Structure 1
Amino acid sequence: MSAPEAPLLDVRGLTKTFVGRNGRTVHAVSDVSFSVRRGTTVGLVGESGSGKTTAGRSVLRLIEPSGGKAVFDGVDLFSLSEREMKAYRKRLQIIFQDPFSSLNPRMRIDAILSEALDAADFARGAARRERIAELLAIVGLSPDHARRFPHEFSGGQRQRIGIARALAVEPEFIVADEPVSALDVSVQAQVLNLLGDLQKRFSLSILFIAHDLSVVEYLCDDVVVMYLGRVMESGPSRKVYANPRHPYTRALLATAPVPDPTRRKARVPLMGDIPSPINPPSGCVFRTRCPMAIEACAQAIPPVEDLGGNHHVACIRHAELA
């Protein structure tokens, strides 16, 4: 048998801390590991404040990580100098959450896309105009839209422009940072379908950040569940959704909307608010809200256990959820 293909992106032990003006340390991301296979979409999911966006931006070094590795196509991105990292920017792109604030309101759409093409040293003149028209068509917009300003578009259309900008340099890997959370539900489906089509069409590898597990189930091959900067559970989407082995994953699934009213879900109480990353709980960071927490949960950080089939969980009581 041939050895399995190495993932396009392999993140190990990613850590990011911030130090505030008062000297307090914020533990935003702690020892996070996951991988993204070529041509697949991985969902990074959790509540607001769980560290998802920080993790995604740290991988791209839009935020400088505090520790760990991010091996992209055999090269550790965290070991590169700023000049060396610049050469990788064409291969790594991001789609931002807010489609309005991520676009310069004073620039027309052709100028916004042209700015992205500058990074790829793309030819000017007729060739560039044709490329801009092509990018707009790819995301379902008209070439005539190139001369408009961002405020002349709906939220869904603006997000399509953000997607076109990310595709301009023909990347291999994209971080999609909650790209549909600011959109109406009806528009969300359209943008999700577009992302799914583009992923297949261009064999993209995508890290899809979201707080809604139902969205991740629809789009993603694998899922990584984060809470307060740590990974609680990860694995193929079908395995995690069919048999979640962490109480937090079960709580998120219980609150996710289900379109079929005949399907009943076991409710798992999720009490209180997510703690502050300045002073995270000892042991398992989820224990203060976990209905299954026992005294041992406070004693040590639970090890990540391999359940087989690339399904991993960090919970000392996971066997009781089998």
Structure 2
Amino acid sequence: MRDTISPEPLLQVRNLRKSFGIRGGLLGRVLAEVKAVNDISFEIGRGEVVGLVGESGSGKTTAGRTLLRLEEPTSGEIRFDGTDLTTLSADGMRRMRRRMQIIFQDPFASLNPREKVREILTHPLRLHGIGTASDRPDRAAELLEKVGLGRDSLDRFPHEFSGGQRQRIGIARALAVEPDFIVADEPVSALDVSIQAQVINLLDDLCDDLGLTMLFIAHDLGVVEHFCDRVIVMYLGRIVETGRSEDLYARPNHPYTQALLSAVPKPKPGRRRDRILLKGDIPSPIDPPSGCVFRSRCPMASAECAEIVPPLARVGAGHFSACIKTT
């Protein structure tokens, strides 16, 4: 747990929902809705790094993008440092984005291949009126040094770098406007395993040195355990468990969390958990199961699980789980 975490929340999310309409027919009417994020609430303290985990299709990336209003929320409240982002105009949100940035998953797709690194890093500075035209290249060079790249990288194009180096450029761009909060959307999943540790260590050092607050979206629970202060587990658009990393990994409560953690390799064979294999695939968010959304794959499910939407209940200090069988 980082010593710099403040009990005062920087981000407060209440009853957030994000649905996408599926249109069809000659008139393009909405035929169905994809409930990507379905009534989630959580807080992130200043200086805290929170991991958001779950299988593909659980709604992690949509949740992260909705927090920054890269996707407009269907309903709910997103309060950042006391300001409800859902009420801001386009200009107001643009000003707020100086304090909120994102690191994208694919470091190649997120960088303009026609621009040199100099332009990539000075664009956000110009957009937000930071510095002057003469000193912005020096600011860009400082950003590169901060992420472990040299000044000579300024006049190179993205394709001239390795995947890990491109992600470092993406991190430098996110840091350019000196944000308070960063959404890191699976920033190492597209990288070789040998490079992942370098990028994670870089992010860890930056969070400590700059006092950053971060939502770290990932599917690699091994990375999350060592990097994040707290973990939120999502399944089919809902939060099913949340707690401090050491508590959740030592005593997972929800059957879904237990299944996820059972697949994480352990360096010491004696500490290995019995593997829990889930049946079937994650259901469609167009028509999620009634009651508990995990019941169709849960080894503990009973008839009452189809009737009750389990709330997050306290199972320990700062540890909450949404399961009527285990709470």
Regarding TM over 0.5, the answer is yes
Cα deviation for residue 255 of structure 1 reads 1.1
The answer to whether structure 1 residue 118 and structure 2 residue 120 are counterparts is no
Amino acid at match of 2:205: D
Equivalent residues in 2 for 1:127-166, closer than 5 Å: 127-166=135-174
* Cα distance in 2 for residues equivalent to 1:169 and 1:153: 23
- 1:246/1:315 contact within 8 Å kept: yes
Which residue matches 2:98?
Answer: 90
Aligned-partner Cα distance in 2 for 1:233–1:5 = 20
Secondary structure of the residue aligned to 2:197 is: helix
* Cα distance in 2 for residues equivalent to 1:13 and 1:27: 13
The Cα shift of 1:40 comes to 1.1
1 CA distance for matches of 2:236 and 2:151? Answer: 43
Percent identical among aligned pairs is 60
User: Within 1, Cα distance between the matches of 2:131 and 2:210?
Assistant: 22
Displacement of 1:271 in angstroms is 1.3
- Per-residue deviation at 1:34? 1.3
1:10-29 correspondence to structure 2 within 5 Å: 10-22=12-24, 23-29=31-37
Structure 2 unmatched ranges of 5 or more = 1-5, 25-30
Output the CA distance in 1 between the equivalents of 2:16 and 2:80.
14
Question: Is the 1:32–1:230 contact (alpha carbons within 8 Å) kept by the matching residues of 2?
Answer: yes
Aligned to 2:28: none
- Counterpart of 2:10 in structure 1 is 8
Aligned-residue offset at 1:209: 0.3
Structure 2 counterpart of 1:157, which letter? Q
SS in 2 for 1:318: coil
For 1:137 and 1:110, locate their aligned partners in 2 and report how far apart those are by CA, in whole Å. Answer: 13
- Aligned ranges for residues 45-60 of structure 1 at < 5 Å? 45-60=53-68
Amino acid at match of 1:294: S
Deviation at 1:6, TM superposition (A): 2.3
CA deviation after TM superposition for structure 1 residue 126, in Å: 3.6
1:231 is the counterpart of 2:239: yes
Aligned to 1:241: 249
What is the CA–CA distance in structure 1 between the aligned matches of 2:284 and 2:221, rounded to whole Å?
23
Is residue 320 of structure 2 the alignment partner of residue 312 of structure 1?
yes
**Distance between the aligned counterparts of 2:121 and 2:132, measured in 1?**
12
Q: Work out which of the residue numbers 271, 274, 287 in structure 2 matches 1:266.
A: 274
Could you tell me which amino acid in structure 2 is paired with residue 123 of structure 1? G
State the match for 1:192 in structure 2.
Answer: 200
Contact 1:269–1:291 (8 Å) recurs in 2: no
| 1-structure distance, mates of 2:224, 2:143 | 26
Q: With the length of structure 2 as denominator, give the TM-score of the two structures.
A: 0.94
CA-based RMSD: 1.1
Q: Secondary structure of 2:296's match? A: helix
How far does residue 62 in structure 1 lie from its aligned partner after superposition?
Answer: 0.3
TM-superposed CA distance for 1:240, in Å, is 0.7
Contact 1:69 1:78 in 2 (8 A): yes
Partners of 1:70 and 1:95 lie apart in 2 by 20
1:40 and 1:200 mapped to 2: Cα distance?
Answer: 10
Query: How far did residue 308 of structure 1 move?
Result: 3.5
Cα deviation 1:112-144 (Å, max 9, x = unaligned): 001121122123344111101100000000110
| Partners of 1:33 and 1:312 in 2: CA distance | 12
The letter for the 2-side match of 1:59 is: L
Q: Which runs of 5+ in 1 are unaligned?
A: none
SS of the equivalent of 1:49 reads coil
What CA distance in whole angstroms lies between the structure 2 residues aligned with 1:126 and 1:86? Answer: 24
- How far apart are the structure 2 equivalents of 1:5 and 1:37? 6
Amino acid at match of 2:238: R
Using the TM superposition, give the Cα deviation of residue 213 of structure 1 relative to its aligned residue in structure 2, in angstroms: 1.1
- Distance in 1 (CA, whole Å) between partners of 2:134 and 2:123 is 16
How far did 1:247 drift?
Answer: 0.4
